[in-house]
Amino acid sequence: MSATATTPGVGRVGDSVPRLDGPPKVKGEFAYASDLQAAGMLWGHTLRSPHPHARIVEIDVSAALTMSGVHAVLTHDDVPGQKTYGLEFADQPVLAHDRVRYFGEAVALVAAEHPEQARRAAEAIRVVYEELPVVSDMERATEMEPLHPERPTMGHGYRDDPRPNVVRHMVIRHGDPDAQGDVSVTGVYEVGIQDQAFLGPESGLAVPDGEGGVDIYVATQWLHVDRDQVAPCLGLDPEQVRIHLAGVGGAFGGREDLSMQIHGALLALHTSRPVKIVYNREESFVGHIHRHPARMWCEHRATRDGRLVNVRMRILLDGGAYASSSTAVASNAASFAVGPYRVDNALIEATAVYTNNPPCGAMRGFGAVQTCFAAEAQMDLLAAELGIDPVDLRLLNALAPGDVLPTGQVVEGSCPVAETIRAAAAIPVPPAEELPRDPIRLPGGAGNTTRGEGVRRGVGFAVGFKNICYSEGFDDSCAARVVLRADGSAEVHCAAAEVGQGVTGVILQVARTELGTDAVTLMPHTTSTVGSAGSASASRMTWMAAGAVRDACRAALEQRERSGGGEVDVERVHRHPRTTPLDPESGQVTGERAHVAFACAAMRVVAEVDVELGLTRVVWVGTAQDVGRAINPIALEGQIEGGTAQGIGLALMEEIQTRDGRITNASFTDYLIPTALDMPPVESVLVEVPEPAAPYGAKGVGEPPTVVSTAAVAAALRAATGKPLRRVPVRPDEIVGLALS
């Protein structure tokens, strides 16, 4: 019913290994969450709010209940346990009661025999709403009526902000925030709402166990934390809720929050039948969290010879209706606001607010994408102001081990910023292609919109920087269990979510390397047979899973040695070096470190712009990435190319559009992601300086390409147009000069 065991193969740490799930995936045999089936299965459907903010006056389900094929219609009254859930604060209702706070919020559930019956029954539920004023402007949110009047105090060392609708206000004061330089540059930057837009829609199957408990087969990023959110809402003990990883069609942070887990389980327990829920594309867009849109006010001061003296940034992030991971995103945006540069003085403020806009949470790059876009634009402004080459300016300020971050943390371990910048700068830029040429290679592509008269070429450079693993005192761990059989073969259990990034390959490579055998089977990912692996996010899964599997393999070998043979079965939990929270008043590190390790990427982008039409084409990308050590180079290149595509998407086309809190482009017709025609060739160089604290020296690789690429594309477009382009996605009217920017 769920993913099956991954079969043995070959490949050790450092080898380029094709995916073991490749053959079933190319044959169409791999079972994704939306492919699950069970005897007697019903289809679930979720009724969602058509209003971004409204009071619920009445819900009448009587008509829906009597419709053909319908087995259950549930509302908040049917939630047996805790009524709300959430990753950091339990502020999100399982089903809305009293009021709805965002467009698309779940209000009621239906289970029926055919998905069309379920959809029609949901339409027949009568909900009477009284619309309330919509808080849609993040700048005004702090002055408006609180959306969560009974908001819990934050605790955890967070600074409680007295203003309404502030989820987290984070301040970093470093050195003398008034320090002057010889020159200063300022800018206000904006990032729109990006969506993860994974291809496999949210889906899952909930199966009642007949004894009051439930098995949930779902596409998720963190099985155990799903269980810990689901069980209290169902009024069950954690062991009565078993989460099993079903095939995941991409994640990118969008599956950190719950989707159908509780809803499916409620319907299954209510009907005593398996219930499957599959979101359609529109529901996926409104039903999951997005990347935080941001507005950033920046001032960079430097000496005449180009050394950064002081960076001041104010960052405002719209978290939407519920907290999700806004607190951590705000902290990350602040922590990485300056980029991988040395600066003795800084004042950085990041504020995440509640609004009635779509809820925002984790997405690849997690706060660092937004600030990298602003900070790198500032570095280019500074380079221009000083008459210094942008690459040289970055090299001059490049962070290195021993330097102090704005949080007061001393950089330790591997931090090859200058090496990475040099490696990217050394990749030869292709020559400009002559005109005339095939229209497919012009901005606008096959649209045949021009012969290229208005085409200008620009080259941009950017550097991005981000933490690896969880931070700020989070007790981050990963468990793995190894069973060594008498015949020398082994099975490995680890609940690390394979979301497409290739962690199952890493686990197998590590186990084969440590055990010295190819006869290793990775068992299904589940909460039933092994402890938590933590989430497949924060570029942490390779580090943590490799550490846990390595530790368990070594312990198993030792135990077998001691026992002189026979079967051994050991579980080990891996932890990275301990972190501590930042001081809530000053944002300064309270122990040795708030972040475990860092990874950077440098990227040069060549873009062409048709300045008459406002159309763009990214021609070429050359990038160097600090990876610590490559465990599987072919998978790593795929991550770099894919992560770059998402950054290009944010720079050029990807934006959730809202009108008064309502999403107006919830489809692949209207929310555009890069196609094969939009993606340039990507030349990548791996910079390998092993991270001493990490298993095998490997750093996670998923996020840095996305952090850097939006900034690099924007730089290339500025170079081509001479326009400031302070907002992404860049719009055609900004390129042709019709819009104020």
Instruction: Point out which residues bind other proteins (CB under 8 A).
Output: 16, 18-19, 21-23, 25-32, 34-35, 37, 114, 116, 196-201, 248-252, 278, 280-281, 438, 440-441, 446, 499-502, 634-635, 637-638, 640-646, 667-669, 673-677, 679, 681-682
- Shortest Cβ 286–other proteins spacing (Å): 14
In the complex with other proteins, the residue whose CB is nearer, 54 or 601, is 601
The residues, ordered by sequence, that sit 6+ positions from 162 with a Cβ below 8 Å of its Cβ are none
User: How many residues are recorded in the chain?
Assistant: 741
The residues, ordered by sequence, that sit 6+ positions from 438 with a Cβ below 8 Å of its Cβ are none
Among 474, 482, 619, which residue's Cα sits nearest to residue 538? 474
- Shortest Cβ 161–other proteins spacing (Å): 36
φ/ψ (deg, to 5) at 123: -65, -25
The C-alpha torsion from 736 through 674 and 337 to 500, rounded to 10°, is: 180
- Shortest Cβ 478–other proteins spacing (Å): 21
- Shortest Cβ 18–other proteins spacing (Å): 5
Per-state percent for the chain, helix, strand, coil, to nearest 5: 25, 25, 50
In the complex with other proteins, the residue whose CB is nearer, 62 or 448, is 448
In the complex with other proteins, the residue whose CB is nearer, 357 or 644, is 644
In the complex with other proteins, the residue whose CB is nearer, 251 or 484, is 251
- Shortest Cβ 451–other proteins spacing (Å): 17
Cα distance between residue 71 and residue 383, in whole Å: 66
- Shortest Cβ 29–other proteins spacing (Å): 7
- Shortest Cβ 319–other proteins spacing (Å): 24
Among 570, 578, 529, 519, which residue's Cα sits nearest to residue 548? 570
**CA angle (659, 660, 666) in 5-degree steps:** 45
Token pair, residue 175, equals: 């050195």
- Shortest Cβ 530–other proteins spacing (Å): 23
Residue 630's CB is within 10 A of a number of other CB atoms, namely: 22
Among 2, 29, 18, 3, which residue's Cα sits nearest to residue 508? 18
The C-alpha torsion from 399 through 400 and 406 to 410, rounded to 10°, is: 170
Cα 593 to chain centroid distance, Å, stands at 23
Among 347, 368, 317, which residue's Cα sits nearest to residue 167? 317
In the complex with other proteins, the residue whose CB is nearer, 134 or 278, is 278
In the complex with other proteins, the residue whose CB is nearer, 276 or 662, is 276
CA distances from 484 to 126, 242, 286, 513 (A): 58, 25, 46, 14
- Shortest Cβ 640–other proteins spacing (Å): 8
- Shortest Cβ 199–other proteins spacing (Å): 4
In the complex with other proteins, the residue whose CB is nearer, 280 or 559, is 280
DSSP H or E run through 484: strand 477-484
- Shortest Cβ 643–other proteins spacing (Å): 8
Cα 169 to chain centroid distance, Å, stands at 21
**CA angle (651, 598, 369) in 5-degree steps:** 15
- Shortest Cβ 203–other proteins spacing (Å): 9
Do 261 and 46 contact (CB within 8 A), yes or no? no
- CA Rg, the chain, in Å? 26
Token pair, residue 532, equals: 């938590």
- Shortest Cβ 625–other proteins spacing (Å): 13
In the complex with other proteins, the residue whose CB is nearer, 491 or 654, is 654
Token pair, residue 392, equals: 């040289």
Do 732 and 666 contact (CB within 8 A), yes or no? no
In the complex with other proteins, the residue whose CB is nearer, 491 or 498, is 498
Cα distance between residue 65 and residue 569, in whole Å: 51
The residues, ordered by sequence, that sit 6+ positions from 77 with a Cβ below 8 Å of its Cβ are none
- Shortest Cβ 119–other proteins spacing (Å): 11
In the complex with other proteins, the residue whose CB is nearer, 117 or 579, is 117
In the complex with other proteins, the residue whose CB is nearer, 4 or 667, is 667
In the complex with other proteins, the residue whose CB is nearer, 323 or 499, is 499
- Shortest Cβ 136–other proteins spacing (Å): 27
In the complex with other proteins, the residue whose CB is nearer, 185 or 651, is 651
- Shortest Cβ 638–other proteins spacing (Å): 5
Do 204 and 217 contact (CB within 8 A), yes or no? yes
Do 488 and 611 contact (CB within 8 A), yes or no? no
Cα distance between residue 154 and residue 355, in whole Å: 18
In the complex with other proteins, the residue whose CB is nearer, 635 or 728, is 635
In the complex with other proteins, the residue whose CB is nearer, 213 or 705, is 705
Q: Are strands 568-575 and 477-484 parallel, antiparallel or unpaired?
A: antiparallel
375 φ/ψ sector (left φ>0, alpha ψ -120 to 50, else beta):
alpha
Cα distance between residue 413 and residue 290, in whole Å: 33
- Shortest Cβ 36–other proteins spacing (Å): 9
Cα distance between residue 197 and residue 420, in whole Å: 30
Residue 237's CB is within 10 A of a number of other CB atoms, namely: 11
In the complex with other proteins, the residue whose CB is nearer, 321 or 621, is 621
In the complex with other proteins, the residue whose CB is nearer, 269 or 713, is 713
170 φ/ψ sector (left φ>0, alpha ψ -120 to 50, else beta):
beta
Residue 733's CB is within 10 A of a number of other CB atoms, namely: 12
Tokens 């001061």 sit at which residue? 301
